[in-house]
Amino acid sequence: MNRLSVDGVDGVDGVDRVSGVDGVAGVDRIAGSNRVASCVRWVLAVATLAVFGAVTPRVQSEDSDAAKIDFFRKKVEPVLKEHCFECHSRKADEVKGDLLLDSQAALAKGGANGPAVVPGDVDASFLIRAIRYTEDDYKMPPRGKLDDDVIRDLEKWIKDGAKNNLPKESP
Ligand code: HEC
């Protein structure tokens, strides 16, 4: 009991000191320097826009290519590996539908029915029609439809040009 009340007083003391004169003075100083800082920041922002305006398009397209490959590696490749390679890669016991999905050349060539992936054209891509389960004889993967958000990821990948870092030729 005794120990508890001493602790309590100490705590209140501490709070008083922190929220006292020091704290308020500090806030004033910060508010003052904030005005100057935001002025400087504004000038810098305008200068930055002016300087980088000319080179931004190039930087952006390099950036987004890297981002698209990154998207492929994180969101698309794992799906192909887990749900398609078993039947559509060199590792398959028997390649199905004459379709490989494990290289850039294979994606471009497609299967018995032609290109599976048409970069930029989601609806023309047989791969998308197959995973949407809208093609009667080609519902892929055959054992169960992929989740909707996974299908959306693959659609986005193709819409954005189907960029990938697969080997040029199937291994
Ligand atoms: C269990 C084996 C199996 C798995 C797994 C599988 N497929 Fe297939 N796939 C087939 C078979 C079999 C065919 C050929 C059907 C036919 O010709 O009647 C085919 C055909 C296709 C075709 C049409 C090829 C063409 O031009 O005729 C596409 C596109 C396709 N699959 C995409 C996929 C995608 C994408 C995945 C993964 C999401 C996948 N498949 C997973 C067995 C599989």
In a domain, 171, yes or no: no
**110 CA to middle of ligand 1, Å?**
11
Q: Are residues 31 and 9 in the same domain?
A: yes
Give the residue numbers spanning the domain of 18: 2-52
Q: Are residues 35 and 100 in the same domain?
A: no
Tokens of 153: 């990821």
Neighbours of 124 (CB within 10 A): 14
pLDDT average, residue stretch 3-30:
44
What confidence tens digit (pLDDT) does each residue in 116-162 have? 999 999 999 999 999 999 999 999 999 999 999 999 999 999 999 99
Question: Can you tell me which residue has the tokens 């998308």?
Answer: 128
- 100 burial type by CB count under 10 A (0-12 exposed, 13-18 middle, 19+ buried): buried
Q: Are residues 98 and 154 in the same domain?
A: yes
> Mutate which of 83, 85, 88 to test ligand 1's pocket (most atoms within 8 Å of Cβ)?
88
Domain count for the chain:
2
Is residue 16's pLDDT more than 60?
A: no
- DSSP helix/strand/coil, 56: helix
Predicted local confidence at residue 170, as pLDDT = 84
Which atom number of ligand 1 is nearest to the Cα of residue 126?
A: 29
The answer to whether the beta carbons of residues 89 and 101 sit under 8 Å apart is: yes
Q: Are residues 114 and 153 in the same domain?
A: yes
Lining ligand 1 with CB less than 6 A are 83-84, 86-88, 96-97, 99, 110-113, 116, 126-127, 130-131, 137-138, 140-142
Is residue 21's pLDDT more than 50?
A: no
Amino acid type, 167: P
Is residue 20's pLDDT more than 50?
A: no
pLDDT average, residue stretch 99-104:
96
> Mutate which of 77, 79, 84, 101 to test ligand 1's pocket (most atoms within 8 Å of Cβ)?
84
Q: Are residues 77 and 132 in the same domain?
A: yes
Q: Are residues 16 and 88 in the same domain?
A: no
pTM over 0.85: no
Q: Are residues 103 and 46 in the same domain?
A: no
What confidence tens digit (pLDDT) does each residue in 36-72 have? 666 567 766 655 555 555 555 555 666 688 999 999 9
Q: Are residues 48 and 80 in the same domain?
A: no
